[in-house]
């Protein structure tokens, strides 16, 4: 596993476009979201290059899968420390899904678990300086959100038939109000994939930009001499605090994504309110 960061650093160095100099890199808070091609590829007129984003997707999946598979290979009755981390992840997501979607929802457990671990690891990878954050791109979070909503729709109609539409008609509502309520329910359902994807994307993006801006103040202030160096202590403190906050956000957003997935799946399994 120790080879992975080295390989990432190597590819990262290769991936840097040489037109941006060091000063730009230090001051530009948007640069960290730049996608650069490592291996340019094209198929059917579409760009499918292996980019820094692809590299970190591979790293996220590789490290997570290797960890989960290797730590449990001992199948210890009394778990080792690393094995109990894997078990804790399993039980955490399993409890989450069981408590919101019931035992019937457990058939979606591999998906919810994969989503949670993938988003969590992608967010945590993003916390390393110079690393690319996969979840900072709306297309990635939107794809994951559409996967969830698509599954909810397909499974909901497949299992309940047209009974799935009861999801939009809460029971016990006066007949006069039904058109209004149905309109609101449909709107809220349509906004689900948007809120699900934008929440994760915006949190990660905003967090990284804020962190970069505050960290950027430190070298900027240090350049103006002694007063600047003393003044740079404040943004340094902010940067440290924000880093801690970002670790929390990294976990929290993965958790929120997973729990919302569970609740939406619950709607597909039990559509009547």
Partner 1 sequence: MASTNTEVGTAADHGGSGSFPPFDASTFSSQLLWLAITFGLFYFLMSKIALPRISSILETRSGRIAQDLDEANRLKTESDEAIATYEQELADAKARAHGIAQEARDASRAELDVKRAGIEADMAAKVAEAEERIAGIKAKAMGEVSGIAEDTAAALVDQLISAKVTKADIKSAVSGAKG
User: Could you tell me which residues come within 8 angstroms of residue 5 by beta carbon, excluding any fewer than 6 positions away?
Assistant: 128
Structure tokens, 136: 């900072």
Stretch that binds partner 1, among 3-11, 40-48, 163-171, 238-246 (CB under 8 A): 40-48
Answer for which of 26, 138, 182, 256 binds partner 1 (CB under 8 A) is 138
Count the Cβ atoms, other than its own, within 10 Å of residue 254. Answer: 22
60 binds partner 1 (CB under 8 A): yes
Structure tokens, 53: 């984003």
Structure tokens, 177: 């109000």
Residue 110 C-beta: closest distance to partner 1, Å: 4
247 binds partner 1 (CB under 8 A): no
150 binds partner 1 (CB under 8 A): no
- Give the residue with the Cβ less far from partner 1, 72 or 160: 72
Tell me if 131 sits within 8 A of 56, measured CB to CB.
Answer: yes
- Give the residue with the Cβ less far from partner 1, 113 or 131: 113
Residue 168 C-beta: closest distance to partner 1, Å: 28
Instruction: For Cα atoms 212, 213, 218, give the angle at the middle one, nearest 5 degrees.
Output: 95
In angstroms, rounded to a whole number, what is the distance separating the alpha carbons of residues 196 and 148? 10
178 to 207, contacts with partner 1 by CB under 8 A? Answer: 201, 205
Burial per residue of 91-111, b for 16 or more beta-carbon CB atoms within 10 angstroms, e otherwise: eebeebbbebbeeebeebbee
Q: In which element (H, E) is residue 246 found?
A: helix 233-269
Structure tokens, 60: 């996220």
Stretch that binds partner 1, among 130-138, 148-156, 185-193, 224-232 (CB under 8 A): 130-138
Answer for which of 13, 75, 172, 179 binds partner 1 (CB under 8 A) is 75
Stretch that binds partner 1, among 107-115, 184-192, 245-253, 263-271 (CB under 8 A): 107-115
159 to 178, contacts with partner 1 by CB under 8 A? Answer: none
Structure tokens, 210: 């804020």
Q: In which element (H, E) is residue 29 found?
A: none
Count the residues of the shown chain that bind partner 1, applying the rule CB under 8 A. 57
Q: What residues line the site for partner 1 (CB under 8 A)?
A: 17, 19-20, 24, 27-31, 33-35, 41, 46-51, 53-54, 57-58, 60-61, 64-65, 68-69, 72-73, 75-77, 79, 83, 86-87, 90-91, 109-111, 113-114, 117-118, 134, 136-140, 143-144, 201, 205
């Amino acid at each position: 596993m120790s080879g992975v960061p080295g390989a990432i650093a190597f590819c990262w160095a290769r991936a840097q476009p040489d037109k941006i100099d060091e000063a730009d890199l230090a001051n530009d808070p948007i640069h960290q979201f730049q996608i650069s091609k490592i291996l340019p590829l094209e198929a059917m007129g579409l760009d499918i290059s292996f980019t820094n984003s692809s590299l970190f997707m591979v790293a996220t999946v590789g490290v997570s899968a290797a960890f989960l598979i290797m730590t449990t290979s001992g199948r210890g009755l009394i778990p080792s420390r690393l094995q109990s981390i894997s078990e804790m992840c399993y039980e955490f997501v399993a409890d989450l899904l069981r408590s919101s979607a019931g035992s019937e929802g457990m058939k979606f457990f591999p998906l919810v678990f994969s989503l949670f671990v993938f988003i969590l690891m992608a967010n945590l990878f993003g916390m390393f300086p110079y690393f690319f954050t996969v979840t900072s791109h709306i297309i990635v979070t939107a794809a994951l959100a559409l996967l969830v909503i698509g599954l909810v729709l397909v499974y909901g109609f497949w299992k309940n038939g047209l009974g799935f539409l009861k999801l939009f008609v809460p029971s016990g509502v006066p007949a006069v109000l039904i058109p209004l309520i149905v309109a609101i329910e449909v709107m809220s359902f349509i906004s689900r994939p948007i809120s699900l994807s934008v929440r994760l994307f915006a949190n990660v993006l905003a967090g990284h930009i804020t962190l970069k801006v505050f960290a950027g103040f430190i070298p900027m202030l240090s350049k103006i001499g002694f007063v600047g160096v003393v003044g740079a202590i404040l943004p340094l403190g902010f940067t440290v605090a924000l880093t801690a906050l970002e670790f929390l956000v990294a976990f929290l957003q993965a958790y929120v994504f997973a729990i919302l997935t569970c609740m939406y799946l619950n709607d597909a399994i039990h559509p009547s309110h």
